[in-house]
Amino acid sequence: MSILVNKHTKLITQGITGKAGLFHTMQCRDYGTNVVGGVNPKKAGTEVEGFPVFGSVKEAVEKTGANTSMVFVPAHFAGKAIVEAADAGIELIVAITEGIPVRDMLNVHQYLKGSNSTLIGPNCPGVTTADVAKVGIAPGFIHRKGKIGVVSRSGTLTYEAVYQTTRSGLGQTTAVGIGGDPVHGLNHIDVIRMFEEDPETEGIILIGEIGGKDEEQAAEYIKSNVTKPVTAFIAGATAPKGKRMGHAGAIISGPGGTAASKVKALENAGVYVAKTAADIGHIMCVALREQTGRCQCNNDEECR
C-alpha cells in the first residue's frame, strides 16, 4: 500500500504553462504518475508537451476525472488557486508555490475546513510513493520501494532521508514534504497517523526544524498512539532566537520551538533522534533492529 498518491492518482497542474510547472509536470509523468492535463484560463483549448490545457479546474475534473492537483501558480494568486481546486472536488492539493502571503493561507485554511480536500504545503517538495507516483519536485531517481515512511518540513532533508534509506536497502513507502510555512496543510501528526495505519510502512522518519510546536505535539501523539519505530532529526540547533533560518516558520519567537525542546520531547516519547543529518538512515536501521531483533539493512555496519 501507500499513502496519499498511488496508481489511482489522476494529476493536473495549475500553472502548467509556466516554465517550472511544465518541467515538473513532465518529470512527474516520466516517473509514472498519470498526468491528465493542466489549467491556464488564458490558454484553454491548447496543448503543451502532450498535456491538454483547460480553462478551469472544474472543466479539467469533468473531462478527465482528475482527483489531484499540483499548484505552480504565482504566490499572490496561489491561495485562490487552492480554493478553486477544492471547489472543483479535487481530493489532494499539493501546493509547491512558496511565498504565499500568510493572510491568504489563513483564509485557505479556514475554507478547507468545509471541504473534502486535503492540502499538502505550500512551499513544499510534494509527495512521492516510491516506484509508483510522484506529485511535486522531488528527484524521483533517489526513491526505492521499501518499508520506511518519511515526513519532513524540509525539502532537501526529505531528499537526504530518502537517499539514505535507499542506500541502506530499507527504501520507502511514501515520502511527504509538508513544507515549512507557518500556515500549511497536513502536519506531522496527520502523516504519522497515515503511516501507522499503513501495513507496508514498518518504520517512520520525522524531520523537523526550529519554530512552532508541531514536533512537540507530534511527540505526544507518538507516545500514545504509534507502535512502529520512529526516528527524527531536528534542524536549526545553532539558530539564535528571533532569527529566521530558511523557512518562514523556522524562527524561535517564544519560550518553546527550540531544537533542544523538540529533541527532548521526542526522546521522552521513545523516538530515536539523530544528532546530525548524516545519521538519519543509520539511526533508522538501529531503531528497526532494536524493535525486531534483527538487522534489516543491506550492510550490518548500519545497525551498529
As annotated, the active-site residues are 247
Closest CA to 60 of 89, 96, 27, 25: 89
For 249-274, b/e burial (b = at least 16 CB within 10 A) is bbbbeeeebbbebbbebbeebebbbb
CB atoms within 10 A of CB 226: 19
**What whole-number distance in Å separates Cα of residue 152 and Cα of residue 268?**
20
What's the one-letter identity of residue 77? Answer: F
Q: Which distant-in-sequence residues (6+ apart) come within 8 Å of 62 by Cβ?
A: none
DSSP 8-state code for residue 228:
S
- 54, 203, 231, 295 from 304: Cα distances, Å: 54, 18, 15, 9
HSE-up (13 A, CA, CB side) for residue 267: 10
Q: Which distant-in-sequence residues (6+ apart) come within 8 Å of 47 by Cβ?
A: 53
Closest CA to 93 of 54, 65, 66: 66
Which residues in 185-242 belong to E strands, given as ranges? 203-209, 230-235
